[in-house]
Amino acid sequence: MARNSTGEGTIYRRRDGRYEAAAYFLTTSGSRKRLRVYAKTREEAHDLLLEAKVQARQGVPIPDRSWKVGEYLDYWLEQVVRVNRRRTTYGRYEVTVRKHLIPGLGKHSLSRLSVPIVQQFLNERLGEGCSVRGAQIMRSVLSAALTSAQREELLSRNVARLVELPTYEPDEVKPWSTDEATRFLEAANGDPLYVAFVLLLLYGLRRGEVLGLRWSDVDFEKREIYVRQQVQRVKGLLYQAPLKTRAGRRDLPLLGFAETLLVEQRQRRKGGSALGDRDGSGELVFRSVSGRPVEPRNFSRSFSRVCEQSGLRKIRLHDLRHTTATLLKDLGVPARDAQLILGHADIATTQGIYQHDSMEGRRSSLGRVESLFVGVLKRCRQEQPSTTFYTRELALSASGRGRGTRTPGPRFWSSISVEPDDSLNSVQLAVERHGRTLLLGHLAVISSRQIEGASRRPQHGIDRTRHPTPLSASALHRPHCSASERRTL
């Protein structure tokens, strides 16, 4: 039996009855490694080895090691996400991986992870009571990890993208109206965080942005506010971080009311505690009693407490940002200006997510459309019942005569007279013309018979009673003749 060529590989039967196919391939690190595949028959083992060879010819190397899903997720979090993503992103990914993905998919082989396996995993989570949004987050995190594995040439496809989930419908946000926002500011007056609440409503700032505002970001001479950083808590640590996007770094005008409140805030802070200056929190406009940055969750709790005490409709703290965006729209502020004020990277986010409509806004908009046709609509309402068309239609309906298909049922004719219009006059004239034409034809026949009879008789002794005088041309051409004249004719 001839020996296989170098690199062609080999196929043989194992002691357990399975067939093993092996050959050397190039790995992702550039070295060569012997790949082994197993199957129940020789043909299946040959096909698996042939498939690996086809991928190698296409330039797809094999992994240096056989990864489990759990092992690769740990590697991805530490070597990819922690290095290239923000702390908050890493914190969210880490919780999803630790609580859901590793317990459910960690033992599976990374190279053999399939769509049915991931689909069954997510279906089980939905059956256990997980929300649709929670399942979508699991799929998104797993998809990001598998995409990274594709970049490292460990996988040829991302099976998480092929999984189907129910459609997620987020809860509708109903921002406050102007009256509700005014009532809130009146109720929050006197609260230690009252100035922060005012800035949220005036500028539509995010929670972390208003808590991360520093005195160096407030220019009283130029009357401007510079939004440059935010305060966040990740895995038990509270820190000051840069903004997420470039669009978030924005300059805003310092309004008169906000300037007055900030001046009073600075005067109160001058005599306050100086704790926290070592970590830079002393520069923050809003600090806790101990001088540390304000806890974001405590800020939200203070907002909810004020709403509950004042009896206002309960919304989230972030919904104040929706309220500001909607008020800008109702005031006629261009969408581009609203986008720059709110710090959105895309104008579609401003218009499609943060700006909402209301029944009052719809009524006002449609009222302006109605005002364009108010003159025509009023004239139509005044003249419609008195027109000849509607008069005739009402009369026909009252008399039992309709325009529809005639039915075999009895009809009760009424003496209600219908005032003729131009169309009826034209029909009457046509009937009269047709009658005159028939009459002239009849007279022509009589005249021809008389002439023929006269030619056969002698000319003397003509009976005038049997041969009346022919009708004059003027009488024939009169459009309206009396009944006696018609009888004579």
Supply the mean pLDDT for the chain: 81
Helix (H) or strand (E) holding 180: helix 178-188
The span from the CA of 9 to the CA of 50, in Å, is 10
- For 10-19, 106-115, 434-443, which range has the lowest pLDDT when averaged over its residues? 434-443
**Locus of tokens 């922060």:** 196
In this predicted model, what pLDDT tens digit does every residue of 334-353 receive, in sequence order?
999 999 999 999 999 999 99
DSSP 173: P
Helix (H) or strand (E) holding 107: none
pTM higher than the cut 0.95: no
Which residue type, as a one-letter code, is found at position 479? P
In this predicted model, what pLDDT tens digit does every residue of 193-204 receive, in sequence order?
999 999 999 999
Residues 56/64, Cβ–Cβ less than 8 Å:
no
In this predicted model, what pLDDT tens digit does every residue of 410-468 receive, in sequence order?
444 444 444 545 555 666 777 777 777 777 777 777 777 666 665 555 554 444 444 44
pLDDT of residue 6: 53
Q: Is the pLDDT of residue 485 over 60?
A: no
SS3 content of the chain, % helix, strand, coil (to 5): 55, 10, 35
pLDDT of residue 146: 96
Residues 211/196, Cβ–Cβ less than 8 Å:
yes
Q: Nearest-CA neighbor of 201 among 61, 104, 103, 317? A: 317
